[in-house]
Amino acid sequence: MIRTQVQLTETQHRLLKRAAADRGVSVAELVRRCIDRALEDEAPSRAELYDRATRLAGAFPDLDGATNVAEDHDQYLEDAFS
């Protein structure tokens, strides 16, 4: 683990200590849990990731100049994995 310092208001510190005691964990553990939850909330959803990926499909030309990927995709996959 990496040690770090943060500055809290007196009210934040008091509430954090109370919440940690109520949960039976250390203040450090409660801070780690809060950080994990905040970072998860900011991560894009699976639907968002899918949407981003589908917007990219076909957006870039094939470097080898292939124009028939939609028709011959099975052959391209076979070639790629052989």
29-79 per-position pLDDT tens digit: 999 999 999 988 788 888 888 888 888 877 777 777 777 777 888 888 888
Give the closest residue to 33 by CA, choosing from 45, 19, 44, 43. Answer: 19
13-41 per-position pLDDT tens digit: 999 999 999 999 999 999 999 999 998 87
Taking all residues of the chain, what is their mean pLDDT, rounded to a whole number? 88
Q: What is the predicted pLDDT for the residue at 43?
A: 81
Distance (Å) of CA 16 to CA 19, 35, 70: 5, 13, 56
**CATH number, domain 1-82, options 3.10.450, 1.10.1220, 1.25.40, 1.10.1420:** 1.10.1220
